[in-house]
Structure 1
């Protein structure tokens, strides 16, 4: 399945309009629509945001996995790789640990709220 088709299907499964998703992403509806038509591709940053909005892993979104939600650590690793460029090894070590701690805290918070 092409990215554009998967994106459209996921949006519809979530019961969202193109305007809804575009608004959540902070972009225009025509910009979002161009992704669903396959005319353009989103940036890595927008891929992460789309995955969050549609509650799927980035790998699933881009067709690298058949699992909609993968282990949270996979997402942490992706975020780490995207945002750790230019850091020293020591800074990377701290950043990775803090990302994992943040994800764990958010999980606890969601369990309390749910």
Structure 2
């Protein structure tokens, strides 16, 4: 399935209009519509936001996985996007804290 098709399908499953999802992303509806039509691709930052809003992994969103939720992929992506400029020791601590945070978050949503 193409990214544009998957994006549209996930948006509809979330019961969101293009306008609503675009608003959550902080963009205009016409830019979002271009993604669903396959005319343009979102930035990596917007891919992460979309995945978070639609509660799927980025890999699933772009068609690299059939697993909708892969927390490890999401953690790795968050880590990569936010660890630039950190020392090796700081990166190690940051990654550990991200994993702990995601585990706590998962527990909170399971209740």
**8 Å contact kept, 2:58–2:73:** no
Structure 1 equivalent of residue 28 of structure 2: 28
- Taking the aligned partners of 1:106 and 1:10, their CA distance within structure 2 comes to 22
Structure 1 equivalent of residue 79 of structure 2: 80
Structure 2 equivalent of residue 19 of structure 1: 19
Structure 2 equivalent of residue 104 of structure 1: 103
> What's the CA shift for 1:16?
1.0
> What's the CA shift for 1:99?
0.7
TM-score (norm 1): 0.89
Is 2:24 aligned against 1:63?
no
- Taking the aligned partners of 1:13 and 1:80, their CA distance within structure 2 comes to 28
- Taking the aligned partners of 1:87 and 1:64, their CA distance within structure 2 comes to 29
> What's the CA shift for 1:109?
2.4
Q: Which secondary structure does the structure 1 equivalent of 2:72 belong to?
A: helix
Alignment deviations for residues 54-85 of structure 1 (CA, whole Å, 9 cap, x no partner): 11110000010011112x12211121122212
Structure 2 equivalent of residue 7 of structure 1: 7
Q: Which secondary structure does the structure 1 equivalent of 2:95 belong to?
A: helix
Structure 1 equivalent of residue 94 of structure 2: 95
- Taking the aligned partners of 1:74 and 1:39, their CA distance within structure 2 comes to 26
> What's the CA shift for 1:41?
0.8
- Structure 2: which 5+ runs fail to align? none
Q: Which secondary structure does the structure 2 equivalent of 1:27 belong to?
A: coil
Alignment deviations for residues 18-72 of structure 1 (CA, whole Å, 9 cap, x no partner): 01111111111111111111111111111011011111110000010011112x1
